[in-house]
Amino acid sequence: MSPQDELEKLKAVCPEAELWDENGKPLVYMPDCSFFAGGKSHKMDILLSPRKHDSGGYPTRLFFQKKVSEQGNWNMHSVKGRTWHACSWDNVRADQPWMDILAAHLRSIT
């Protein structure tokens, strides 16, 4: 499936989602996205990296505007000139639909 097709599916969750490019790799910017993680509802900007990102060796990453939990190993990253927060979570494969990648990262937040 093409990045544009994957983006269209993510727009069901966040209608304003945008496909960005960083060094030839896709990123999905999801502004003001509503989601449930860590036992709570949240609304903030998130950034999905469905492929290995320069910020570390993980096959996929989900970056948050701010930490959504005090649990876990959270780190700050600079992506596209903005500071993002990401929890260390290494068990989300890149060979699956982007919606599944997003869901797996959200499920990992405790």
The answer to whether the beta carbons of residues 61 and 104 sit under 8 Å apart is: no
Determine phi and psi for 25, rounding to 5 degrees.
Answer: -115, 145
Sheet holding 40-49, edge to edge: 18-22, 25-37, 40-49, 61-64, 82-87, 74-79
**Per-residue model confidence (pLDDT) at position 55:** 64
Nearest residue to 59 via CA among 69, 71, 72, 50: 50
User: Residue ranges per domain, the chain?
Assistant: 3-108
pTM for this model (two decimals) = 0.93
pLDDT score for 57: 77
Tens digit of each residue's pLDDT (9 = 90 or more) over 65-104: 999 988 888 999 999 999 999 998 878 999 999 999 999 9
Phi, psi of 93 (to 5 degrees): -70, 150
* pLDDT tens for each residue of 23-56: 889 999 999 999 998 889 999 999 999 998 776 6
**Beta-ladder partners of 85:** 64, 76
Q: Tell me: pLDDT of 110 over 80.
A: no
